[in-house]
Amino acid sequence: MQTSKLVRLTAVSAIAALALTACSDSGSSDSANTDSSAASESADGNGSNAESNNPADESQFPITVEHALGETVIESKPERVATVGWANHEVPLAFGIVPVGMSKSTWGDDDENGIMPWTEDKIAELGGEEPVLFDETDGIPFEQVADTQPDVILAAYSGLTQEDYDTLSQIAPVVAYPDKPWTTSAFDMVSLDAAGLGLADEGEKLNEDLKKQVDDAMANYPELKGKKPLFTSFGGASSESMIGFYTLDDPRAGFLEEAGFETPEIVKEYTGNSDSFWEEVSTENPEQFDDVDFFISYSSGDEAADKEALEKMQADPLTSKIPAIAEGRVVFLENGPLGASANPSPLSIPWGIDDYFAALNTAFEAE
């Protein structure tokens, strides 16, 4: 038996009441005041981000962007860009625009400063000041967003509710997701957010470049081509009696298919018959997982605990019948930047795609 290899000031009064009801954490007023002050300084033009370098052609405006929560009209070229949700800030950064405000990274950050390393590198490369960071742990901080005085708010990959969208729209035009919350692929995020900047053509060129980088990295690991991974969470949301997994609606699983992996039948089945990007099924019929070549799971942060979680499943009378589990073909992704990069984005792909595929390849190195 093997074990595993191991993101307008004038609208503030209009949204104040809504913002107060939306904010449930009253114990962080000092922090909020500090963030608000920093935002005001940036909004007053004291930061290098106050004047962006949006290369869009002004003559194409106004433009209209359609999405799941409505239709957004952007009247003129946006210069001050704010983003909410995961990784949307990476799109303007890829085009040389440092946002005035963006979501704080609360998972996978290596130094706990709220900014992923690939984002830090890009901001430094552009010579921009650190944007105001929006802590969305308890929801969108509407007043903080308003304080940055954005011309547009990018949220193509996010979990905005209709109420969130309506409130943010009182601040600036909002670009939301195309279908369901938290299901936007990295490439669709680029397309939508780029369109909101007036850079639709540039967005398509960026996607072409990103896809080439993915293809080139995948070519370094021919053993992975055609393999069927299942992205799960052993020792967390999954247990011996249930196995949870991301469907193709989730960017993590969807990206693997786009990269050249095949998709297990159970993932295909639930993708077509579910409104969720995460499903859980009983292990009573372990043959459902027979075609899974290997499992991908986030690590618990403790190698010994990861090993123990796998060994429990290998000893279980049901899950031990799943070939990939029995043979130890499980990859535990570290809970740092590499693990976060498994949810791909325009800056994380060039930063870590080869390392990501190298980690996945460890499932087959002993074969």
Residues 98-118: tens digit of each pLDDT: 999 999 998 888 888 999 999
Q: In sequence order, what are the beta bridge partners of 366?
A: none
Give me 40's structure tokens: 């005001």
Please tell me the number of Cα atoms within 13 Å of 167 on its side-chain side. 25
pLDDT, residue 16, reads 38
Q: Estimate to the nearest angstrom the gap between the alpha carbon of 353 and the chain centroid.
A: 15
Long-range contacts of 19-28 (CB under 8 A, 24+ apart): 19/141, 19/142, 19/143, 19/146, 19/167, 22/139, 22/140, 22/142, 22/167, 23/138, 23/139, 23/141, 23/142, 24/138, 24/139, 25/137, 25/138
Pairing of strands 278-282, 174-175: unpaired
The residue count of the chain comes to 367
Domain architecture of the chain: domains with CATH: 9-199 (3.40.50.1980), 222-364 (3.40.50.1980)
293: closest CA among 236, 217, 215, 224?
Answer: 224
Report the distance separating Cα 5 and Cα 332, nearest Å.
8
Q: What pTM does this model have?
A: 0.85
Q: What is the pLDDT along the chain (367 residues), one digit of tens a residue?
A: 444 333 333 333 334 333 333 333 333 333 333 343 333 343 343 334 545 589 999 999 999 999 999 999 999 999 999 999 999 999 999 999 999 999 999 888 888 899 999 999 999 999 999 999 999 999 999 999 999 999 999 999 999 999 999 999 999 999 999 999 999 999 999 999 999 999 999 999 999 999 999 999 999 999 999 999 999 988 654 556 899 999 999 999 999 999 999 999 999 999 978 788 999 999 999 999 999 999 999 998 899 999 999 999 999 999 999 999 999 999 999 989 999 999 999 999 999 999 999 999 999 986 5
Q: Is the dihedral of CA 126, 130, 131, 135 positive or negative?
A: positive
Dihedral of the alpha carbons of 246, 248, 253, 254, in degrees to the nearest 10: -160
